[in-house]
Structure 1
Amino acid sequence: MAKNNGTYLIRGASILGAGAEDLLISDGVIAARGAAAAAHNDAHGATVIEAAGLVALPGMVDVHTHLREPGREDAETVETGTRAAALGGFTAVHAMANSNPVADTAGVVEQVHSLGRAAGWVDVRPVGAVTVGLAGEQLAELGAMADSRAQVRMFSDDGLCVHDPVLMRRALEYVKAFDGVVAQHAQEPRLTAGAQMNEGAVSAVLGLTGWPAVAEESIIARDVLLAQHVNSRLHVCHVSTAGSVEIIRWAKERGINVTAEVTPHHLLLTDDLVRSYNPVYKV
């Protein structure tokens, strides 16, 4: 949803990285392109945005954000987070469930949805918790959240792994009823207890407890097989190892309905940066 429903002429933008063209935006949608856009502006006038040298893309969707509201407004709010998203070219964001209270009921996801509508910068899609209180013991109200005004379709205990295979199977089965998806924070907790950095040569030299790649890869391997078994949809959050990529590629080649994401810090930062003990590199 647009903050301002006026008319804008975006002049000279490179459309999807191709040739430069004018775009006329009216009430939040593309009303005309090229010469027609310029002609409309000549006849009626519009707010002109000079975009030579810039690229025009469809609005992006961020499937993994932490808007922190309710409960952690000191860190972020729906208003501030969605304003930043809009400035970055995003038109929709999914807000993870690890708020306080946890977004594990229809009431909480509807609150987040309402806050997004009130802010008015982008569409806010609340992510519902898979388990009550993110505790990994009992399924949350998945159906009620799906039927709520927020119409939740993505569910995740992000920040915590749904490590119980029975619960994960049940969640994958449940969301099929409304074409939902379970987003997994892939981390076997018994393999990462006390871990401080990636397990490898640098962790050994520094004497820091290592976080083994297999902790992530074993959960992903289990979950793609569960998704295949029940014919459901799985999304893997913040993939960080080459082995995980290979497992996901293997699953896709076999027609398993799995998607994945990666974070900038997992793409750009390496173990060697930890040698500096600079806290900037601790995520």
Structure 2
Amino acid sequence: MAEHHHDHSDVSNIKTAFFLNLSFTIIEIIGGFLTNSMAILSDALHDLGDSLSLAMSWYLENYSQKGADKEFSYGYARFSLLGALINSIVLILGSIFILTKVIPRIFAPQALRPEGMLYLAILGIIVNGIAVFKLRGGGSLNKDVVSWHLLEDVLGWVAVLIVSIVLIYKDLPILDPLLSLAINIYILYNVIAKLKKILNVFLQRVPPGIEIGALQQKIAAETQALAAHHTHIWTLDGEKNFLSTHVIIPDQFSKEEIMELKSKIKELLAAEKIDHVTVEIEYQNEECENENCKA
């Protein structure tokens, strides 16, 4: 099985991003109420979800490095997925709650304080920009996902900055709830897409880009195996892919030939980004007890 080691700097960078994000979220919530801006309060809720995500990522970045033991034979990698699932649900519920507050304001816009919105937008771009910079580059999946979330925040604050400048010179308070509506729809769309991917992993769907039939044909065509069947493929955490398969071999195969065949199959599948392979050998004239033998 291919091992995945996470750099300890990932933990430190996520920790820094967490404290930056949480501190700014508190400022943002206060500023949202002071400026009476639903767009800022909407983003504050999003940032609160990001802070929760960062906290879980920080904790799970350490926890998921634990290897397999007698209680979790696959290791602890899926605990990060559990955190992602909780965060996604929190963000979806929060966005729906904000929408119930935003929609009435579209029909009855309220007075805003655009100067305060402008200052918060500048601060938001700086703080989230620093967090994105800290999380740039390779590393763990946790780090990568959080980095993209924070980049979305930067783009959101750029939008608030533009709207606040417009509001300083033009009295169009409806722009604020419209921006809030757009932010929330965008968040919901992306979070629901993310949730779908998470559930696919939990439900052990075949990872994207992998086709079982094609793999079975490849094994039969490029090795001495006569056929492969009863193949299962799943992913542990969205990164590590697992496969188990039955291969049929000629009756006269020797122990050395079987060892060479297994090695060749694992080499072929490694090229398909499958980390852990289990091969069950069946002889050509062996009676298979599995109902999928004829597949």
TM-score, length-normalised on structure 2? 0.26
- The structure that has the greater radius of gyration is 2
Q: Which is bigger in relative contact order (C-alpha 8 A, separation at least 6)? A: 2
Instruction: Give the number of the structure whose residues are more often helix, by fraction.
Output: 2
Instruction: Give the number of the structure whose residues are more often strand, by fraction.
Output: 1
TM-score, length-normalised on structure 1? 0.27
